[in-house]
Amino acid sequence: MNSIAQTVTLKINIVDSIPIKNLIAFKTNFKSKTLCSQYIQQIPSLLQAKGYATANIDTIIEKENDFTINLFVGKQWQWGKLELPNEIENLTTLNKNQISTIPETILNYYENQGFPFAKLKFDSLYFSENNTINGRLQIDPGMVYTMDSIRVFGNIKLKNRFLQQHLKLFNNDIYQTEKLKTISNKLKELNYLREFKNWDMLMLGSSYLVNLYLEPVNQNKFDAIVGFLPNNNQTNGKLLFTVDAKLNLFNAFANGEQISFNWQQIQPASPRIDILYKQPFIFNSTVGLNVNFNLYKRDSAFLNIQSGIGIQMDISKKSNISISLNNFSTRIIDADTNQIIATKQLPDVLDMNISNLGIHYQYNGAIGVGNAKRKGFDWAFSSNVGQKKINQNNTITNIKSGGYNYQSLYDSIATNTYQLKAKFFVTKYSSIGKQTVLKNALQYGLLLSGNYLKNELFQIGGFKLLRGFDEENIFTNQYLVSSNEIRFLFNNSSYFFGFTDIGFTQNRVINQNNSFIGGGLGLALSTQQGILNVSFAVGKRNDLPFNFKESKIHIGILSNF
């Protein structure tokens, strides 16, 4: 047995004068010599179904991984009557009135039922008047073949169990041509590897081996964005320096997993940490596992901690759905007791716990990867609904001033209520000629609750959503943002761009509605170290004018390793 099979090619020479293009669409590439030899034996039957009753193969020449045959086609007759075997009389895909398609239909059926070497033979042929032939079709299905295993050649680290799940090819499953045809496309879905050679097969006595030739691709990503926000309100008019760093690791443990770590410092004394772990095909099932953790400290005001665990399932190669259980807790860091004493009111930041059920759907239909997308749609929807419980804060309840019972302040609000949080986005990419791409995006967020607190609101604004404004400094329970960007491409990774962002927000905590408009220019440039991204943005709120002294400058680098 050869350790590695080779892709086999077939060349067909027609020895009479029939043009090959007028015959059938011959297969010319095969995953093994055995499959090629079997196909060669079927060629006369395929031609006889077209009416070439005397078609036969004169010679077969085999050289290493190439076959050459000399084929005699002969005269074409019209079919009269063809008697079919009983076992395929009820085959739903069979068109008995189209005799020329019957052999291919039958062979396709058997090739997807575990019989790669099914044989057809036209028997008892006789000729009638008016150039017609009649006969009987015989079928020999041959031996049932099952998959022995998948073998991987190359320096990629990938567990066989994961490969079987991803390719939907399992040990001892029957031979199915349609599944085998999807191998290369399914491998392309894994961005951390590539085929350095087309896959092939090795046929054994009653089983087959699938040989994959794979090598790793540098798809681990380090993404760092540095922001310079001059004359910033959060720093009393001084320059605010921000950092957003993200590390993405793919297939670190050879199971197709993704590990993501994100650290942000985009407001003064306000760090954020995001950790995400995705594991496909847990317990050999079709679902994956998602685990996430988020910590956010807002200066001396509050600390938010969120965690979740869920399952994810691919609906198609472009879409997936996930369901999760999540917990959100927030605590006051430094309650302003003087303000509470003066107003006899609770602050807009309170301790609370929220437990919810989440659902998320994502569709990736745009053609291309990352910033190289040129046309199509991406969209996603997520919703979380659950119970919100407001907890009493000891610093507030223990205030001693003027004999007032500050614990009674909690009697004025609903401490057990609900929370619903939903988000939606859609992005459209359109090509204008070869070097210009339009990107149009719409994002919407909605928070509903029995009462509203500042530390549960969405935080938007900045480089990722609503450019031209301070990073995540717009608190809102409902927002709608439209982003429009035009890109002038130098190549797939480098382009100059201009953009406008328009947004509308509602803040039920302070009963305020605002509109925003921002715009700017930028450059993405491919370098040896990665993709360098530089952008300049400025924005205005409905009640404030444009102020170029408060413009935002961001410099980012995206590097694969």
Residue 272 has what pLDDT?
94
**Predicted confidence band at 1 (pLDDT cuts at 50, 70, 90)?**
very low
Tokens of 478: 């409902």
DSSP calls for 234-295: GGTTS-EEEEEEEEEEESTTSSS-EEEEEEEE-STT-EEEEEEEEESSGGGSSEEEEEEEEE
146-216 CATH fold: Ubiquitin-like (UB roll) (3.10.20)
Tokens of 15: 């020895």
Q: Where is pLDDT greater, at 37 or 240?
A: 37
**Cα separation of 134 and 78, whole Å?**
9
Placement of tokens 């909605």 in the chain: 446
Placement of tokens 């020479």 in the chain: 13
Tokens of 463: 């480089």
- Contacts of residue 99, defined as CB under 8 A and 6 or more positions apart, other chains included, come to 49, 79, 82
Contact 328, 306 (CB under 8 A): yes
> Residue ranges per domain, the chain?
8-140, 146-216, 221-560
Residue 260 CB neighbours (<10 A): 16
User: What mean pLDDT, rounded, does the chain reach?
Assistant: 90
Q: Is 407 helix (H, G, I), strand (E, B) or coil?
A: helix
Q: Report the DSSP pairing between strands 132-140 and 78-83.
A: parallel
pLDDT digits (tens, 9 = 90+) for 494-539: 999 999 999 999 999 999 999 999 999 999 998 887 888 999 999 9
Contact 337, 395 (CB under 8 A): yes
Burial class (CB in 10 A: 0-12, 13-18, 19+), 155: exposed
Phi, psi of 557 (to 5 degrees): -135, 130
Measuring CA to CA, how many Å separate 478 from each of 85, 302, 372, 414, 453?
Answer: 67, 21, 31, 21, 13
Contact 259, 248 (CB under 8 A): yes
Phi, psi of 75 (to 5 degrees): -75, 150
> How many H helices and E strands in the chain?
7, 28
Q: Report the DSSP pairing between strands 319-332 and 271-279.
A: unpaired
Asked if residue 185 has pLDDT above 50, the reply is yes
**First-last CA distance in the chain:** 38
Asked if residue 450 has pLDDT above 50, the reply is yes
Residues 75-98 as b or e (16 or more Cβ within 10 Å = b): ebbebbebebeeebeeeeebeeee
Report which of 208, 156, 209 is spatially closest to residue 187, judged by C-alpha positions: 156
Mean pLDDT (whole number) for 316-338: 94
Segment holding 214, helix H or strand E: strand 207-216
pLDDT digits (tens, 9 = 90+) for 79-89: 888 888 888 77
Asked if residue 3 has pLDDT above 50, the reply is no
251 φ/ψ sector (left φ>0, alpha ψ -120 to 50, else beta): left
Report which of 284, 396, 268 is spatially closest to residue 341, judged by C-alpha positions: 396
For the ranges 361-375, 400-414, 462-476, the lowest mean pLDDT is seen at 361-375
Contact 4, 201 (CB under 8 A): no
Q: Where is pLDDT greater, at 279 or 103?
A: 279
Segment holding 186, helix H or strand E: helix 183-188
Residue 130 has what pLDDT?
76
Residue 380 has what pLDDT?
98
Asked if residue 127 has pLDDT above 60, the reply is yes
CATH number of 221-560: 2.40.160.50
**Cα separation of 7 and 28, whole Å?**
10
- Contacts of residue 516, defined as CB under 8 A and 6 or more positions apart, other chains included, come to 466, 468, 469, 474, 501, 502, 503, 504, 505, 539, 540, 541, 542
Burial class (CB in 10 A: 0-12, 13-18, 19+), 315: exposed
Report which of 88, 84, 80, 75 is spatially closest to residue 122, judged by C-alpha positions: 84
Report which of 51, 49, 43 is spatially closest to residue 11, judged by C-alpha positions: 43
Mean pLDDT (whole number) for 162-177: 95
Asked if residue 2 has pLDDT above 60, the reply is no
**Predicted confidence band at 364 (pLDDT cuts at 50, 70, 90)?**
very high
Percent of the chain with pLDDT over 70: 96
Furthest CA-CA distance within the chain: 118
Which regions of 3-140 does DSSP assign to beta strands (E)?
A: 8-14, 29-30, 56-63, 66-72, 78-83, 119-128, 132-140
Segment holding 215, helix H or strand E: strand 207-216
Asked if residue 51 has pLDDT above 80, the reply is yes
Contact 151, 209 (CB under 8 A): yes
Which regions of 334-477 does DSSP assign to beta strands (E)?
A: 352-364, 376-390, 416-432, 436-449, 458-460, 474-476
Asked if residue 228 has pLDDT above 80, the reply is no
pLDDT digits (tens, 9 = 90+) for 16-29: 876 665 667 888 99
- Interhelix angle for 102-111 vs 33-49, to 10°? 150
Residue 20 has what pLDDT?
60
Residue 503 has what pLDDT?
98
Residue 245 has what pLDDT?
93
